[in-house]
């Protein structure tokens, strides 16, 4: 049951990810991305990672994608004002994408050798266990991540302040 659901959802993830790229309209593209994130949420549920699933749901689908949609609606992008990309840029894009693909394949090959973390303790994804894990052995990396986010936030605020000074 679990495996067949996984294959169905994984197929959907791939289809919708492709739709993100192939959609002509940027708004449609973002909407497909939202559906893709929803399929990821289902994947997390299948892995018994309830907390991760619901956080993915709230943060990615509920907040970040709303902001994406918000910005795109403000920009009012359409076909007419889409910049024409030269052949040179297209070739560069293909090369860069190919490099990324090679790196990803390489890293996934390395992962396949180690058995996945989830299998060792299937209840790791529940809130209580995840919290104990994060604030126990992974305390330092966790706090460092939050400092990183804080730095990004301060940076963003600083950028808007600079703009204000230049204008005024």
CB of 164 to other proteins, least distance (A): 16
Check if the beta carbon of residue 42 is closer than 8 Å to that of residue 10.
no
Binding mask 65-104 for other proteins (x = CB under 8 A): -xx-xx--xx------------------------------
Q: Does 157 bind other proteins (CB under 8 A)?
A: no
Report the interhelical angle of 127-135 vs 139-167 (nearest 10°): 80
CA angle 56, 104, 153 (to 5 degrees): 45
Q: Does 35 bind other proteins (CB under 8 A)?
A: no
Q: Does 124 bind other proteins (CB under 8 A)?
A: no
Stretch of residues binding other proteins (CB under 8 A), selected from 60-68, 98-106, 136-144, 149-157: 60-68
Q: Does 31 bind other proteins (CB under 8 A)?
A: yes
Residues that bind other proteins (CB under 8 A): 27, 31, 34, 50-51, 54-55, 57-58, 61-63, 66-67, 69-70, 73-74, 126-127
């Amino acid at each position: 049951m679990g495996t067949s659901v996984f294959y169905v959802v994984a197929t959907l993830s791939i289809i919708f990810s492709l739709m993100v790229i192939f959609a002509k309209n940027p708004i449609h593209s973002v909407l497909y991305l939202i559906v893709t994130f929803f399929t990821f949420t289902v994947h997390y549920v299948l892995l018994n990672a309830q907390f991760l699933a619901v956080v993915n749901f709230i943060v990615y689908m509920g907040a970040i994608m709303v902001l994406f949609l918000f910005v795109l609606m403000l920009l009012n992008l359409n076909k007419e004002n889409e910049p024409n990309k030269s052949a040179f840029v297209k070739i560069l894009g293909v090369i860069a994408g190919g490099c990324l693909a090679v790196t990803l394949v390489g890293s996934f090959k390395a992962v396949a050798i180690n058995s996945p973390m989830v299998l060792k303790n299937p209840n790791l994804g529940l809130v209580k266990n995840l919290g104990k894990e994060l604030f126990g052995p992974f305390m330092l990396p966790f706090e460092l991540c939050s400092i990183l986010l804080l730095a990004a936030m301060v940076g963003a605020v600083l950028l808007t302040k600079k703009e204000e000074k230049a204008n005024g």
